[in-house]
């Protein structure tokens, strides 16, 4: 039983704000769709494999503008049932556990991805790769790939799946969240992105980039534009363009974080051949593109501009405000007790005020490191027990099966979207109390 009488504040839940869910946008779009048989009939039947053309077209226009990519087109996209479902389909088509060697995951990682890899035959073959301020530790990844290439026999193993002529199996998989990462909030630098693409090409690796937070970007100097080129765009342009018709990157996008996860709709962008192969995934061929109905509703909201309005004038201003308040509270209640802000490049106190405005430029999370004497998992338990505050911590973000390689002992993730503003600040204030007591016990 929690000793505190205060209401529970959940800073763990990586969900969108319930008070901001776009119900009127969805109501208007559904109304239009369902009142017109030429729209409603196809939306309620099986759809084409790559997804309904209405969403493919409107989305490709939207993405071209947001990412400044003249090459984005419907034929490079597939509509999915969200990033999780899509990850499973990508693995079904483009990996074979008796041929594909390992899955290299940036650690701390989006923990729920681990089970999707395990379901697809990679249990015991998830390899943790640390990240530094620029993103994935490329030197370590290179060493690991080189080490694993030398293992005897593996590359001669016979694949058990039967890829179609428009499909292939990659020898390695690299999984990352390059922009506004979950959980660290970091954005991989441009240089690191280029190194990563080159490494993937060298080792026949497919980079699966969960780009699910990209659209939530609020740096005032670049409103309405992406924080960074996606890895899939770098693969398109780097060193003369893709080195194989499949490319080496698939961008995994989602409407979950911007409209609502209940819609279960997302998209991928890749080369045309990769997209074709992905759209021929068995479950898609049998059932048609997933989320045919909700995808058609979303297409309608893009067509009218309601989606763009909602994102630019409702969601982004609200999340920008929440992130700023959360940062201020972290500065006030946590930093004095020795906490380091990981999401920010240099959380040295002298520089912090200067960095604050640019510190969190998007996404859902702030990630902090507790002082070395404190264990994050124990701290989270204490926060829940004493103060009714829930946070994600330590073990939650380790790569399953390879925890020892990159142990997460001191990391704590604070989500600033789920709770309303004053509750975020109050939650962080309570975390400060727990921290103060814990530090007092260490005698420092
Ligand atoms: C990095 C990352 N990928 C995927 C997802 C899940 O996305 P979807 O709801 O589209 O399946 C999340 C949700 O938290 C996430 O943080």
DSSP assignment string, 332-377: IIIGGGT-EESSSS---HHHHHHHHHHH--BSSEEEEE--TTS-HH
Instruction: Give domain status of residue 3, yes or no.
Output: no
Q: Tokens representing 298?
A: 């979303």
pLDDT for the residue numbered 122: 96
Residue 64 has pLDDT above 50, yes or no: yes
Residue 373 sits in a domain whose CATH number is 3.90.1150.10
Q: How far apart are CA 386 and CA 431, in angstroms?
A: 10
Residue 140 is given by DSSP the state: H
3-class SS of residue 207: strand
Note whether 100 and 117 are within 8 A (CB): no
- Tell me the CA–centroid distance for residue 84 and ligand 1, in Å: 6
| Nearest atom in ligand 1 to 80's CA | 10
Cα separation, 414 vs 343, in Å, equals: 11
Label residues 268-300 b or e (16+ Cβ within 10 Å = b).
bbbbbbbbbbbbbbeebeeebbbbbbbbbbbbb
Q: Label residue 165 exposed, middle or buried (CB < 10 Å: 0-12, 13-18, 19+).
A: exposed
> What confidence score (pLDDT) does residue 357 get?
39
Same domain, 279 and 422: no
For residues 349 and 240, membership in a common domain is answered with: no
List, in order, residues 6 or more apart from 57 with CB less than 8 Å away.
74, 299
Mean pLDDT on 356-377: 86
CA of 230 relative to ligand 1 center, distance in Å: 17
Q: At 340, phi and psi to the nearest 5?
A: -115, 135
Together in a domain, 359 and 375: yes
| CA 48/CA 53 separation, integer angstroms | 8
Considering the domain architecture, whether residues 255 and 351 belong to the same structural domain is answered as no
Q: How far apart are CA 293 and CA 38, in angstroms?
A: 13
Token pair in block for residue 179: 């922009």
For position 222, what pLDDT does the model report?
87
Is 50 exceeded by the pLDDT of residue 369? yes
Residues 281 and 365 in one domain: no
Identify the domain boundary among 271, 304, 337.
304
Convert the pLDDT of each residue in 231-252 to its tens digit. 999 999 999 999 999 999 999 9
Structure tokens belonging to residue 166? 């428009």
> What is the mean predicted confidence (pLDDT) over 300-316?
97
Give the domain CATH number at 103: 3.40.640.10
103 beta partners: 126, 173
155: confidence class by pLDDT, cuts 50, 70, 90: low
User: What pLDDT does residue 443 have?
Assistant: 77
Q: Which of 107, 98, 205, 94 is nearest to 159 (CA)?
A: 98
For residue 429, which of 396, 394, 360, 383 has the smallest C-alpha distance? 383
pLDDT digit string, tens, across residues 391-414: 999 888 999 999 999 989 999 999
In degrees, rounded to 5, the angle at the alpha carbon of residue 393 between the alpha carbons of residues 387 and 399 is 160
Rounded to whole angstroms, how far apart are CA atoms 292 and 156?
40
Arithmetic mean of pLDDT, 379-384: 97
Confidence of residue 157 (pLDDT cuts 50, 70, 90): low
Strands (E), 228-309: 249-254, 266-269
Which atom of ligand 1 is nearest the CA belonging to 86?
Answer: 11
Distance between Cα 206 and ligand 1 center (Å): 19
Instruction: Give the pLDDT of residue 152.
Output: 53
Question: Ligand 1 mean position to 210 CA, how many Å?
Answer: 8
Residue 437 CA, ligand 1 centroid: distance in Å: 35
Name the residue of 86, 112, 267 whose CB sits within 8 Å of the most ligand 1 atoms, as the mutation to test its pocket.
112
Q: Does 325 lie in the same domain as 258?
A: no
Same domain, 156 and 274: yes
37, part of any domain: yes
Question: Which residues line ligand 1 at a C-beta cut-off of 6 Å?
Answer: 14, 82-84, 110, 177, 182, 210, 212, 254, 256, 261, 266
Give the whole-number percent of the chain exceeding pLDDT 90. 86
Domain count, the chain: 2
**Which DSSP letter does residue 22 get?**
-
Summarised one tens digit per residue, pLDDT across range 312-361 is 999 999 999 999 999 999 999 999 999 998 875 544 444 444 444 346 89
Does one domain contain both 56 and 204?
yes
Q: Residue 110 CA: which ligand 1 atom is closest? A: 1
Residue 4 lies inside a defined structural domain of this protein: no
Range of the domain at 52: 23-304
Compute the distance between CA of residue 289 and CA of residue 278 in angstroms, rounded to an integer: 11
Phi, psi of 187 (to 5 degrees): -120, 125
Longest pairwise C-alpha distance within the chain: 71
Q: What is the C-alpha to C-alpha distance for residues 66 and 174, in angstroms, rounded to an integer?
A: 25
How far is residue 9's CA from residue 434's CA, in Å, rounded to a whole number? 14
**Is residue 2 very low, low, confident or very high in pLDDT (cuts 50, 70, 90)?**
low
State residue 158's pLDDT score.
Answer: 66
Phi, psi torsion values for 78, nearest 5 degrees: -130, 150
Minimal-distance CA residue to ligand 1 atom 3? 210
Atom of ligand 1 nearest to the CA of 364: 16
Nearest CA to 135 out of 215, 197, 191, 219 is that of: 191
> How far is it, in rounded angstroms, from Cα 295 to Cα 59?
10
Residues 175, 77: Cα–Cα separation, whole Å? 19
222 and 323 fall within a common domain? no
Instruction: Please indicate, yes or no, if residue 1 is contained in any of the structural domains.
Output: no
Give a yes or no: residue 2 inside a domain.
Answer: no
Q: Does one domain contain both 182 and 94?
A: yes
pLDDT, position 347: 43
Whether residues 45 and 123 share a domain: the answer is yes
- Give yes or no: residues 243 and 328 share one domain: no
Give distance in angstroms: CA of 82 to centre of ligand 1.
8
Q: Do 239 and 197 touch, CB atoms closer than 8 A?
A: no
Domain stop point among 304, 325, 351: 304
Residue 226: pLDDT above 60? Answer: yes
Residue 197 lies in a domain: yes
Domain end among 304, 339, 366: 304
Distances 428 to 10, 145, 173, 355, 383 between C-alpha atoms, Å: 11, 40, 37, 20, 10
């Amino acid at each position: 039983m929690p000793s505190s009488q205060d209401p529970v504040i959940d800073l763990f839940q990586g969900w969108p704000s319930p008070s901001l869910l776009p119900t009127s946008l969805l109501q208007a779009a559904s109304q239009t769709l369902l009142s017109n048989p030429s729209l409603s009939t196809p939306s309620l039947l099986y759809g084409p494999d790559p997804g309904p053309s209405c969403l493919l077209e409107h989305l490709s226009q939207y993405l071209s503008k947001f990412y400044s990519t003249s090459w984005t087109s419907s034929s490079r996209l597939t509509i999915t049932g969200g990033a999780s479902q899509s990850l499973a389909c990508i693995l079904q088509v483009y990996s074979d556990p008796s041929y594909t060697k390992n899955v290299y995951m940036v650690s701390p990682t989006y923990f729920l991805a681990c089970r999707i890899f395990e379901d697809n035959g990679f249990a015991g073959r998830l390899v943790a790769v640390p990240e530094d301020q620029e993103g994935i530790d490329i030197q370590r990844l290179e060493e690991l790939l080189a080490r694993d290439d030398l293992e005897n026999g593996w590359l001669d193993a016979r694949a058990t799946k039967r890829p179609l002529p428009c499909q292939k199996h990659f020898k390695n998989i690299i999984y990352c969240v390059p922009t506004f990462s979950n959980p660290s909030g970091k954005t991989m630098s441009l240089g690191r992105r280029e190194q990563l693409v080159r490494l993937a090409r060298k080792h026949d690796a497919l980079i699966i980039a969960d780009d699910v937070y990209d659209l939530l970007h609020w740096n005032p100097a670049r409103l309405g534009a992406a924080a960074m080129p996606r890895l899939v765009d770098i693969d398109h342009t780097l060193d003369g363009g893709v080195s194989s018709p499949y490319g080496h990157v698939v961008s995994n996008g989602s409407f979950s974080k911007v409209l609502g996860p209940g819609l279960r709709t997302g998209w991928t962008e890749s080369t045309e051949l990769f997209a074709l192969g992905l759209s021929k995934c068995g479950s898609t061929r049998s059932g048609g593109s997933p989320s045919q109905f909700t995808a058609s509703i979303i297409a309608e909201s893009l067509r009218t501009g309601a989606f763009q309005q909602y994102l630019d004038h409702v969601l982004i201003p609200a999340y920008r405000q929440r992130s700023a308040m959360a940062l201020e509270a972290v500065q006030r209640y946590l930093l004095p007790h020795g906490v380091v802000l990981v999401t920010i490049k240099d959380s040295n106190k002298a520089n912090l005020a200067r960095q604050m405005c640019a510190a969190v430029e998007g996404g859902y999370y702030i990630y902090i490191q507790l002082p070395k004497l404190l264990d994050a998992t124990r701290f989270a338990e204490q926060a829940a027990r004493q103060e009714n505050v829930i946070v994600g911590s330590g073990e939650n973000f380790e790569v399953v099966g390879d925890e020892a390689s990159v142990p997460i002992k001191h990391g704590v993730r604070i989500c600033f979207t789920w709770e309303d503003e004053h509750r975020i600040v109050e939650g962080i204030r309570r975390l400060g109390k727990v921290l103060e007591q814990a530090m007092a016990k260490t005698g420092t």
